Structure formats: C-alpha cells, structure tokens
Amino acid sequence: MFKLTQNDSLEFPFEELRFPLDESSIAGYVAHTDTELNIPDAYQLSRDVPYEFNRSFDQKTGYRTKSILARPLANKQQEVIGVLQFINRKKARSLKVTDEKAALAYTLPFDSDINVLLQALASQAGIAIENTILQNDIKALFEGFVNASVSAIEQRDPTTSGHSFRVADLCVDLASSVSSSNLTRMRNIPFTDIEVRELRYAALLHDFGKVGVRESVLVKAKKLTAGSLENIQYRIWLAQEKLRTLPLADNWRCIARARL
C-alpha cells in the first residue's frame, strides 16, 4: 500500500493505492528482498534488474524523478514492515524541482554521507510504525474486552438489552454538545478525543457489577418474595419495639443512679 507522500516542490492530490508486492517495482523489490536500492537516475536503469520505475506520477504532474534511495523499514525483530523512498536529493532545500530541466540541474545522487543519516531515519521510522501498530492492537484488544463484557452483562439480564449502548451513545452526544456549545459557562470545559473515548468506555461498563449479582436477584419476577417481605416486616416491628421501650430504659437508668 502506497500510504503517504510528501513533496517540497509540487502540490498535488494524493490517494492511497495498492500494487502487487513483488520484484517488478522498486518498492516491491526492496520489501521482497530486504535490500537497499541507491539509483542515480530512475530513467536509466540497467536492463538486468528485475524492477522498473513507474513513470505515471511524472507524466501526470510534469515532475522528473532522478535520484532514488529506497530502504526497507524493519521492526525490532528485523522483519520488513514497510519501505521508505527518498527521491531527488537537492543541492539546496530552497530549490524547486518542477520539471526535467530543474531535476537535472538541481539534484544529486545519494552518497555515503547522506546515506548514514537516512539509515538512522529509516530505523526510527520502522520503530515508530511498530509502536503505532502495537498501540492499535492494544486499543482493539481493549475494545473487544469492553464489547464482550457488555454482551455478558446483557446475557445475564436480557430485559435491559441494548441499555449500555444507548447510555454510551447518549453520554458521547452530550459531551460533543458541551464541546460545541456557545454558552459562556460551557466554553472552559471542552472534551478531548481521549476523554470522550474514556467516557464511552465508562458508560458501556456502568452496569458491570451485574456480573457478580446472583441470578435469583438479577432476574427476579417480583420486587420481593413473600418470605423476604415477612423478614423485612419483622425487622420493622423489632425497630418499633426498641423505640417504644427506649424511654423506659432511660427511666430505669435514672432510678439506678438516684439510688447510688
């Protein structure tokens, strides 16, 4: 996948595109063979190489690609996870390569000195991509845990099916409304994307305690069974009796003190 590009000389619309991962293209060859390519002129490739330069971008924009340095991006396990291409090393950053004449006049091949610097950049880029992939995997794992937890809650209490998702949607909508509100008292309490995501997770899991509630209590047909209601009534009568006899107990304490 051709994921990202940057050009200091031209502005052009960019779209992601896919092409076969084989040795027929420069990036495919680098990724497939885990080999660096340093090409002085992309338009003068040897006939012996299995790859070829795709000139479609130059033909659409009038750009002229000349020098290319393509390096594989590796993770900590030295597995190739991408390719980084540097195109047209310029004599000065301020120069603009907009056509073939400018490319031939302003560009240089990639020598050993600049290659060392770009190797370090490629190493850092590979580690950064791997970290991003790991973070996305962790987010996906946690999202799966939350969804599985909500499913477990709803299976234990089918009567409230969909309740957690509705609460989460409502909380997210309220947070978004606060952030976009023009009210003076709301201007100093915006919600960031991270805070909205945390709010959504909290709303989804607000009934997580149901997992530990006994089935007889969670899905009871009535508010109280007959036996439970009698027990509560007995406790009320006991409390009433204690309150009724409390003044008598105080009087006996006063009599006892007077006798002493």
**Model-level pTM greater than 0.75?**
no
In terms of C-beta density within 10 A (0-12 exposed, 13-18 middle, 19 or more buried), how is residue 2 classed? middle
Could you report how far apart the first and last alpha carbons of the chain are, in Å?
98
Domains of the chain in sequence order: 26-110 (3.30.450.40), 141-214 (no CATH)
Do the Cβ atoms of 90 and 82 come closer than 8 Å?
no
| Tens-binned pLDDT, residue by residue, of the chain (260 aa) | 888 888 888 887 778 888 888 888 899 999 999 899 999 999 999 888 999 998 888 888 888 999 999 999 888 888 888 899 999 999 888 888 888 888 889 999 998 888 888 888 888 888 888 888 899 999 899 989 988 888 888 887 777 778 888 999 999 999 888 888 777 777 778 888 889 999 999 999 888 888 777 777 776 666 666 677 788 888 889 888 888 887 766 666 665 555 55
Single-letter amino acid, residue 136 = N
